[in-house]
């Protein structure tokens, strides 16, 4: 039970409001019900978990699945949307597992993160990663059936866990992350052949490869060559997405991709300090949306590209409240 002295309209601090019980003389601390405290703790816990899984960044995940599904001719029906929901769960699982694996390093480099700050216990983070992985597999089974789980979802989940638990700290880390993101695109093909979706998978993988290399320098700053390599990777991803007969939707999406990511990389080239690098990494995560929009238009679905590109301002706004990196 919390006690507090709460001034009300027309009252002075320490004076009970009309109709409230206080000590003799009508003044004294006003006893409040426990619900506001519980609500505050619930909001604080919810925010901590949102930070743990980088919740807003998951907005960039369904576009991978949609790009793969559209390339394979599967459309955007309930089954595709179910696979997209499965991928979101696996993405969040990877983020939680990342913080669990990096908890000792984050205690030095990022003490404000949920685990080193004590807002979430390590065991709870690991349980969150396991639970979200199970949810992702279960949703995929409902949406795509056993063949999809075995051929698409399990390899994706394995890549996520392999990256966080081992590959991340090795020179192969960026390639494994790029492979995971490519598998996310192929996830959208379900039980269908993956060959038609290899081009969008490669475009997303190349973008992710450069971005992951750059993200390794978020704390100490990046050598100029890393920003140049990431810029080259982004240019390659855009070039691989474009094709003859590019329509207005694809052209607009590629222009948005360039303007949403290119300036941030240019700033890193001029000043490779850590804050610039973190800004560029965040911009690169968000730039996946216009890249996915261009891939959707490339597959002949310009109407799908519109909401993907339009989600860019939303994810930027949300990332100011909960960081994407």
In a 13 Å sphere around the CA of 82, the CA atoms on its Cβ side amount to 17
Q: How far is CA 281 from CA 221, 227, 296, 297, in A?
A: 12, 10, 23, 25
Residue 80 token pair: 């595709």
Residues 6+ apart with CB under 8 A from 92: 53, 54, 55, 58, 132
Q: How confident is the model at residue 18, as a pLDDT? A: 36
State the residue for tokens 């610039």: 276
Pick from 242, 289, 239, 253: which is nearest to 63 by CA?
289
DSSP state letter for 310: H
Helix (H, G, I), strand (E, B) or coil at 89: helix
Across the chain, mean pLDDT equals 89
Exposure b/e, 144-159, CB count within 10 A at least 16 = b: beeebbebbbebbbeb
Pick from 104, 131, 122, 109: which is nearest to 52 by CA?
122
Residue 116 token pair: 């080193």
37-66: average pLDDT: 93
Kindly report the backbone phi and psi dihedral angles of residue 224, in degrees, each rounded to the nearest multiple of 5, phi listed first. Answer: -55, -30
pTM of the entire predicted model:
0.86
Task: Say if residue 17's pLDDT is above 70.
Answer: no
Residue predicted with more confidence, 35 or 154: 154
Helix-strand-coil split of the chain, %, nearest 5: 70, 0, 25
Are 93 and 132 a contacting pair, CB within 8 Å? yes
What is the tens place of the pLDDT at every residue in 201-226?
999 999 999 999 999 999 899 988 99
Q: How confident is the model at residue 311, as a pLDDT? A: 97
What is the tens place of the pLDDT at every residue in 21-37?
333 444 445 454 555 57
Residue 229 token pair: 């390599």
Residue predicted with more confidence, 103 or 12: 103
Task: Say if residue 58's pLDDT is above 70.
Answer: yes
Kindly report the backbone phi and psi dihedral angles of residue 27, in degrees, each rounded to the nearest multiple of 5, phi listed first. Answer: -130, 160
Residue 2 token pair: 């919390």
Q: How confident is the model at residue 53, as a pLDDT? A: 97
Q: How far is CA 172 from CA 55, 93, 231, in A?
A: 26, 21, 20
């Amino acid at each position: 039970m919390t006690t507090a002295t709460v001034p009300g309209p027309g009252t002075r601090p320490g004076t009970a409001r009309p109709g409230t019980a206080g000590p003799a003389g009508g003044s004294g601390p006003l006893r409040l019900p426990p619900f506001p405290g519980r609500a505050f703790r619930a909001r604080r816990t919810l925010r901590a978990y949102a930070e743990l899984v980088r919740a807003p960044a998951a907005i960039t995940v369904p576009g991978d699945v949609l790009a793969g599904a559209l390339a394979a001719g599967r459309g955007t029906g309930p089954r595709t949307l179910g696979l997209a929901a499965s991928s979101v769960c696996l993405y969040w699982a990877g983020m939680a597992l990342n913080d669990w694996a990096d908890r000792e390093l984050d205690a030095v480099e990022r003490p404000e993160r949920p685990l080193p700050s004590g807002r979430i216990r390590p065991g709870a983070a690991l349980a969150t990663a396991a639970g979200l992985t199970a949810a992702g597999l279960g949703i995929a089974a409902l949406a795509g059936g056993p063949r999809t789980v075995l051929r698409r979802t399990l390899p994706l989940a394995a890549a996520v866990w392999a990256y966080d638990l081992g590959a991340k700290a090795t020179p192969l880390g960026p390639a494994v992350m790029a492979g995971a993101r490519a598998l996310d695109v192929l996830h959208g093909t379900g039980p269908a052949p993956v060959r038609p979706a290899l081009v969008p998978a490669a475009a997303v993988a190349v973008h992710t490869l450069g971005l992951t290399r750059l993200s390794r320098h978020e704390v100490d700053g990046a050598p100029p060559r890393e920003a140049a390599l990431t810029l080259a990777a982004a240019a390659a991803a855009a070039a691989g997405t474009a094709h003859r007969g590019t329509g207005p939707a694809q052209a607009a999406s590629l222009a948005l991709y360039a303007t949403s990511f290119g300036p941030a990389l240019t700033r890193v080239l001029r000043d490779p300090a850590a804050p610039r690098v973190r800004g560029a990494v965040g911009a690169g995560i968000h730039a996946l949306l216009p890249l996915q929009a261009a891939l959707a238009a490339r597959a002949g679905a310009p109407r799908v590209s519109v909401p993907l590109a339009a989600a860019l301002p939303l994810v930027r706004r949300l990332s100011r409240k909960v960081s994407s990196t």
